[in-house]
Amino acid sequence: MNKRVLITGGAGFIGSHICEILSKKDYTVIIADNLSQGNYENIHKFKNIKFYNKDISKDEIEEIFKEEKPDFVIHLAAQVSVGNSVNNPYLDAEINILSTIKLLELCKKYGIKKIITASTAAVYGDSKYIPIDETHPKEPFSPYGLSKYTMEKYIELSNVPYIIFRFSNVYGPRQKISGESGVIAIFSKAMENGEIIKIYGNGDQVRDFIYVEDVAKIFVKAIESDVKNKILNFSTNKGITINELFKLMSKIYDYKLSPIYKNKKTEDIEISILSNEQAKKLFKIEDLTNIETGLKKLKDYR
């Protein structure tokens, strides 16, 4: 039976990879995206795609539910920059909280079978222990982390079946250069262009990078499984410092320049490594893309 999936932000970085998989599996994919972060070029070649240039925070999107009758909703439209959330917390809340509430009301009205959405490791704040599991205290210290945590709570209270994924730092093809989560994209572009790279702080900050194709695959598994009403970390459960990342990428890109170190950003988290045990067990995941393989795939894509 053909399943119909509505993806908000579907022309963006993660969304386009999910669309690519679903279109090959003969799902009907409905995309709502205002193209502020997404790009139509990311999705225009895929089959079984219907595209609506809509801003879910401002435009009337109920017509999409009426017309397309989706079975599932994947909610990716979001404000994802920590820095922008600090500079404009009102906009951050409007996009990440109020838009989600509006979407949830439509999910209830039209009997959506499951909503699957992306949250973030930023809900935890600085780590009290490593790796961070789902029971770790939630102490976000940026408006972005707070808005995503608030979004989670509204979803839990909605009575709409859900899966919420708290992702570590996602990287890979089609990622725009913005915010801390785009550090690999920033390094990649600079190395390709022979530009000097800036590292904020001493470079010993630890991050857990997950390849975008692995993220896309788990969204598809979430649609096809009976798992529901879960909040799950998804990561590699392996950390790398920014300095180590720089060295590894310099080798892959044959980059010879030295970085410039700048003052640490106040909203930066020192160490973020997420435990992925629950998600791996529920979705029977065995192999994930290691960082060196993922970086080489990114370079070859470009």
User: What residues contact residue 234 under an 8 Å CB cut-off, 6+ apart?
Assistant: 165, 166, 167, 168, 210, 214, 215, 218, 274, 276, 279
Q: What is the pTM of this model?
A: 0.94
The Cα–Cα gap between 40 and 38 comes to 7
Does position 298 have pLDDT exceeding 60, yes or no? yes
User: For this structure, is 171 an active site residue?
Assistant: no
Does position 175 have pLDDT exceeding 80, yes or no? yes
pLDDT in tens, 213-228: 999 999 999 999 999 9
Domains of the chain, first to last: 4-171+210-235 (3.40.50.720)
Q: Max CA-CA distance within the chain? A: 57
pLDDT in tens, 115-152: 999 999 999 998 999 999 999 999 998 999 999 999 99
Find the catalytic residue in 27, 52, 124, 144: 144
In contact, 283 and 222? CB cutoff 8 Å:
yes
**pLDDT at position 26, please?**
83
